[in-house]
């Protein structure tokens, strides 16, 4: 079978649409293959904000090792926290308790830099799970230099 027989011959205008359609489909399918291969791999399900929460949690837990699960349930004091420790033990939470400060007269910027360093270390782990950071200060944090300190909520409520 020759080319002319396969595509109805070149008898004027009637064969041109068939030939054009053939080449259009050929080019379309080849570009589809090329663009499909060039696409980056999709996010893991647990990182997809559009996926249902229950599915994201199940996906993340299925990927975690036992050591990672134990680490995520562990909270350490800020005084012992450092980026290497967080990454090695997969620590899930850091707390600044009473007197646990980055430096004497630490400014808000120093606190933010400390927390950013710890958070960046947690995000650099295999699964990139952020830490939960807390400050044990129910009335305002007097360890932040220049901070305003308020009475405890129960004290504020008793003033009425």
**Which residues lie across from 95 on neighbouring strands?**
77, 134
Q: Following DSSP, what letter does each residue of 126-149 receive, concatenated?
A: SS-PPPEEEE--BTB-TTSTT---
Q: What is the pLDDT of residue 12?
A: 47
Per-residue pLDDT of 23-78, as tens digits, reads: 555 556 655 555 555 566 689 999 999 999 999 999 999 999 999 999 999 999 99
Residue 139, pLDDT > 70, answer no
pLDDT, averaged across the chain:
81
Long-range Cβ contacts of 55-59 (<8 Å, 24+ apart) = none
Q: What is the pLDDT of residue 10?
A: 46
Q: Which is more confident, 110 or 9?
A: 110
Q: What is the pLDDT of residue 23?
A: 57
Q: Which is more confident, 106 or 130?
A: 130
Residue 81, pLDDT > 90, answer yes
Report the C-alpha gap between 17 and 28 in whole angstroms: 16
- b/e map 74-93, b = 16+ CB within 10 Å: eebebeebeeeebbeebbbb
The residues spanned by each domain of the chain are: 3-38, 64-157
Length of the chain: 160
**Which strands make up the sheet holding 93-96, listed edge to edge?**
75-77, 93-96, 132-135
């Amino acid at each position: 079978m020759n080319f002319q027989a396969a595509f109805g011959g070149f008898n004027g205008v009637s064969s041109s649409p068939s030939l054009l359609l053939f080449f259009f489909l050929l080019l379309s399918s080849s570009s589809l293959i090329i663009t499909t291969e060039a696409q980056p791999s999709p996010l893991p399900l647990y990182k997809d904000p559009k996926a249902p929460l229950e599915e994201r949690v199940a996906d993340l837990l299925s990927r975690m090792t036992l050591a990672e699960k134990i680490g995520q349930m562990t909270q350490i004091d800020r005084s012992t926290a450092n980026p290497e420790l967080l990454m090695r033990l997969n620590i899930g939470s850091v707390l600044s308790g009473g007197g646990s400060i980055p430096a004497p007269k630490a400014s808000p910027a120093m606190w933010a830099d400390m927390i950013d360093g710890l958070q960046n270390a947690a995000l650099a782990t295999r699964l990139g799970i952020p830490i939960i950071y807390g400050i044990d200060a129910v009335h305002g944090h007097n360890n932040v230099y220049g901070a305003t300190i308020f009475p405890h909520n129960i004290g504020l409520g008793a003033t009425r």
